[in-house]
Amino acid sequence: MLSIKKAAVIGSGVMGSGIAAHLANCGIPSYLLDVVPPDLEKIRKASPAHLYDADDIRLITVGLLDQNLEKLRECDWIIEAVTEKLDVKKNLYNKIKPYIRDSAWVSSNTSGLPLNELKFRDKFCITHFFNPPRYLKLIEVVGEAKELVEFIEEKLGKGVVKAKDTPNFIANRIGVFHVYDCFHMTYEKNWPLSNVEKVMGPATLHPKSAAFRTCDLVGLDTLSLVAKTCYDGCKEDENRNRFKNPAFLDQMIAKGLVGAKVGQGFYKKDKETKEILAINLQTLEYGPQQKFRADSLGKVREMTEPAEKLRTVVFADDEAGQIAWPLMSNMLVYAANRVPEISDSIEDVDRALRWGFGWELGPFEMWDALGVPQVVERLQKEGRAVPKLVQEILKKGGKFYPKPNLTFLKSRKANGGVVESNAGGSIVDLGDGVFCAEFQSKMNAIDGDVIETINKALARAEKEGLGVVITNEGENFSVGANLMLILLTAQQKDWKQLDYIVQEFQKTMQKIRFSPKPVVAAPFNLVLGGGCEVCLSAAHIEAHAETYMGLVEVGVGILPAGGGCKNMILRWEEKLTKPKSPQNMIWFSPLDGGVFPKVGKSFEMIAMGKVATSAKEGKKFGLLRKSDGVTLNRDNLTQAAKKKVLELAKNYQPPKMREDIQLPGRGGEVALVSGAHAFYLRGEISDHDMLIAKTVAHVLAGGDMPTIHYTSEQHILDLEREAFLKLCGEEKTQARMQHMLMNGKPLRN
C-alpha cells in the first residue's frame, strides 16, 4: 500500500482545517499552510470537534505558504483546499510545482470544478471531502488514483466513490437537485415549510435535519454557489432550470438570512421565548411552526424497516403522501437519468448519497424499496417519462439489486448464520468458531432478552467455539438498560424483583469477564450506561473511531450497577500503575501516592457522567485500555472484532476473580464528597445530585470500612446493587427516569 508519512494541506478554511485534523486523527502529521496564519486553537476548540483527541493538534504544523514552500518536498500527499475559483487554484499550482516530489500525490478538494481544467501532473486527482471531514464518510475521487484510493479507504476509514468529471460530481448533483426541487415545489404548492420538513426527514429516510434545516447548516449562500455550478455547467440537463434560485432564496441571501452561521435562515430562535420559528416563503416573515399530523407519519414511528417506512409515506393517501410522492419521484427519475452521465455505477451513486448526505438508502435502493414496477405504473398514469435505465431494469426482472449488497454481519445472517434468536437479540455464527451476540431490542437497550442472548452465546462458544463478538448494526451500540422496566418496577416498590434484575445483569457481566473463551465487544456511536458496562466486562474492545462512551447513569438518578463502578476502578488501577522496574522487577503502587488516584478518577467519570467523544478519548478516560483496538471504517468493525477473537483464542487465559482490590475506606469517601461539595456550594449541582455523588463515593471507597483495606469484586458488586436500589426508591430519581423516557433529555431536579 501507498505509504504517506507526511502530508500538506494548503488552505486553512473550514475544509482545509477539517482535513488536516482528520489526518491527525489517523496519526498522519501534516503542514497546514495558508497566506494568512492558520489558527490552531480554533481547530482544537471546534464544535463539533474536528479531533478525536485534542492532544493530536501536535501533529499539525501551521505556517505561511510563501515562507514554507520547501516543506512541500517532505510530503507524500499535498491536498489543495483553497477557494473554489479556477484561476486561484491554477496560480497556486504554478507556485508549488517546483517543490513537489515526483513520487508525491497532489489532489484538489474542489466540490465541482473540472479535473481537465485543474490537472497539471500525472499524480493528480480530485479528492472531494464532505464537511465535516471527521464525521462524513464520503470522499468523491475524480481521476485515476488507485493507490491513493486504497490508502484513503484503509488508513483514513473513508468511503470512496469514483465520480466522472461532471459538474458537482455525484452527491451534490443529485442532492442539490433534490433540495432545489423541494424549494421550488414548496413555494409553488404553498406548502407550510414545517409540514415539508416532517415529511422529508427520517420518515422518507433523510436525516433528522430534513431539507430546510440542512440548508441552514450548509449556508444558503454556499448552497446557491453549488447550484449555480450545476446551472452553468449542465446545459443539456433536462432539469437545468430547477437549479435556478427561486425568488425567495435570492431575497433571503440579499437580506443576509443565510442560515445557522448568522442565526437566521429558514429558521431562527426567538430570543425571548426560545421558540424555533420558521420562515414563510411567501412573505419572508418568521412565525411559529405549524402542527402537522398525518396517519402515515404516525405509522412509521413504530417501524424499523427502511423500505416499509418509505412505502408507507410515499404511497400514502394523505397530506404527507401528497408531499412525499412528487418530491421523491422527481428525485428518483432524476437520479436514473444521470447514469451513466455522472457514474457508471448505481452502487456508487447510492453510496454517495448515503455517505455524503446521510440518507438511509440511496436513490436506486429506494427504487427497489418502493418497487420499480409500482413507481413506473404511477409515473405512466401521470403521463411522465420513464428513464431508459429503468425501462432496461424492468426487462431484466424489475430490480436494481437482485442480490442486495450486505454487510458482513447481515451476509452471515442472510446465509443461515442465525443459530438462535429472541425478541431482543440473535446469536449469529460468524464462522471459524466465532459467534456474535447481536442486540436487536428497541434502541438496543439491555433487557432480559439481551441478557439471555449474551448468556446463550457465551455457553455456545464455551461448548463448541473459540469466542464471542458482542455487537450489532443498529443506529447505536446500546443506549443503556431498559429504563422503562426499572422505573415501573421501582414505582411498584417491587424491590425483590428489582434486586433480581440487577443481580442477573451483574452475573452476566461477570460471565463475560471470566468467560473461558475470549469475548470482544465492538461498540460504535452511543455506548451508554449498561452498554458501556458490557464493554468494560469484555476481554478486548474493538471500537469504531466514532464511539461516544460513558457511564451516564447519574443523569437518571442512579449509578452503574452492572459492575461499572468495579470495572472503572480496575481500569484506572491498570492505567495509573507504573510498569515493572527493570532494576528490581517489583510493581509500583498507582502514581501520585497509593490507592486514591484510581478511585478519584473513577468518581470523576461516574459522578459527572463523563462521555468520551471518540474511541481515542475513551482511552484517555480509562474506558478503553491501551491495548484495545480502534477501527476507522465501521463497515469493517465486526470483521475486525472477529479477527481479534481468533487472535486471542490461540493462547487465551481468562482473568482471575480479584480478592485484593485496595480501596480507601471512609477517609477516601470524605475526600470524594468534599470535592462534590465544592460544586454544590457554587450552585452547579442540586441537592439530589449531591445525594447521588455521596452514594457513588460510598461505593467506590468500599462501603463502611473505616480505612484503607482490601476487598473483592463481589463486595463491590453488592455495594453497587444496594446503592442502586436505594436510589431507585427516591422520588426525584423516579422523576428523572420519567422525564428521560418522555423527553429524551435529563432532568436536573
**681, pLDDT greater than 50:** yes
Half-sphere exposure of residue 88, counting CA atoms within 13 Å on the CB side?
A: 13
pLDDT at 299: 96
Q: pLDDT by residue (tens digit) across 307-359?
A: 999 999 999 999 999 999 999 999 999 999 999 999 999 999 999 999 999 99
**636, pLDDT greater than 70:** yes
**579, pLDDT greater than 80:** no
Half-sphere exposure of residue 38, counting CA atoms within 13 Å on the CB side?
A: 28
| Cβ pair 479, 528 in contact under 8 A | yes
Query: Cα 138–324–364 angle (5° rounding)?
Result: 40
Q: pLDDT by residue (tens digit) across 138-174?
A: 999 999 999 999 999 999 999 999 999 999 999 999 9
* CA nearest neighbour of 249 among 323, 179, 191: 179
Q: What is the mean pLDDT of residues 459-472?
A: 98
pLDDT at 578: 65
**571, pLDDT greater than 90:** yes
The band of 614, judged by pLDDT with boundaries at 50, 70 and 90, is: very high
User: Which of residues 291 and 584 earns the better pLDDT score?
Assistant: 291
The β-bridge partners of 276 are 269
Q: CA separation (Å) from 597 to 100, 188, 554, 717?
A: 50, 65, 21, 20
The torsion defined by the Cα of 107, 113, 114 and 118, in degrees rounded to 10, comes to -50
**551, pLDDT greater than 60:** yes
C-alpha grid cell, residue 553: 447513569
pLDDT at 349: 98
pLDDT at 588: 38
**640, pLDDT greater than 60:** yes
Contacts of 590 (CB under 8 A, 6+ apart): 573, 576, 577, 597, 598
**468, pLDDT greater than 60:** yes
Q: Which amino acid is at 293?
A: R
Domain-by-domain residue ranges, the chain? 7-162, 171-395, 553-608+658-749
| Cβ pair 155, 128 in contact under 8 A | no
Cis omega (within 30 of 0) for bond into 132? yes
Inter-axis angle of helices 530-537 and 564-575, nearest 10: 50
**CA-CA distance, 436 to 520, in Å (whole number)?**
9
| Cβ pair 324, 312 in contact under 8 A | no
Q: What is the mean pLDDT of residues 230-245?
A: 96
pLDDT at 592: 42
C-alpha grid cell, residue 607: 459522578
Contacts of 683 (CB under 8 A, 6+ apart): none
**581, pLDDT greater than 70:** no
Q: Which fold has domain 171-395?
A: N-(1-d-carboxylethyl)-l-norvaline Dehydrogenase; domain 2 (1.10.1040)
| Cβ pair 373, 386 in contact under 8 A | no
**CA-CA distance, 68 to 321, in Å (whole number)?**
58
| Rg of the chain on CA atoms, in Å | 28
Neighbouring CB atoms inside 10 A of 146's CB total 10
* CA nearest neighbour of 736 among 584, 558, 509: 558
**399, pLDDT greater than 60:** yes
**CA-CA distance, 275 to 273, in Å (whole number)?**
5
**388, pLDDT greater than 50:** yes
Half-sphere exposure of residue 518, counting CA atoms within 13 Å on the CB side?
A: 23
**CA-CA distance, 385 to 252, in Å (whole number)?**
34
**738, pLDDT greater than 70:** yes
Q: What is the mean pLDDT of residues 101-121?
A: 96
pLDDT at 586: 40
C-alpha grid cell, residue 298: 404516525
pLDDT at 1: 83
Q: pLDDT by residue (tens digit) across 492-506?
A: 999 999 999 999 999
**CA-CA distance, 468 to 475, in Å (whole number)?**
21
**8, pLDDT greater than 70:** yes
**683, pLDDT greater than 60:** yes
**591, pLDDT greater than 60:** no
The band of 112, judged by pLDDT with boundaries at 50, 70 and 90, is: confident
Q: What is the mean pLDDT of residues 240-260?
A: 97
pLDDT at 595: 83
pLDDT at 405: 83
**CA-CA distance, 748 to 739, in Å (whole number)?**
10
CATH number of 7-162: 3.40.50.720
pLDDT at 404: 82
pLDDT at 651: 95
Q: What average pLDDT does the chain have?
A: 95
- Least-confidence region, from 121-135, 572-586, 648-662: 572-586
Strands (E) located in 212-317: 267-269, 276-279, 286-288
Q: pLDDT by residue (tens digit) across 275-304?
A: 999 999 999 999 999 899 999 999 999 898
Three-state helix/strand/coil letters over 124-180: EEEEEECCCCCCCCEEEEECCCHHHHHHHHHHCCCEEEECCCCCCCCHHHHHHHHHH
The β-bridge partners of 59 are none
C-alpha grid cell, residue 450: 439481551
- According to DSSP, residue 78 is labeled E
Q: What is the mean pLDDT of residues 458-463?
A: 98
- According to DSSP, residue 56 is labeled G
C-alpha grid cell, residue 166: 461532471
* CA nearest neighbour of 538 among 615, 605, 470: 470
- The separation between CA 51 and the C-alpha centre of its own chain, rounded to angstroms, equals 14
**552, pLDDT greater than 80:** yes
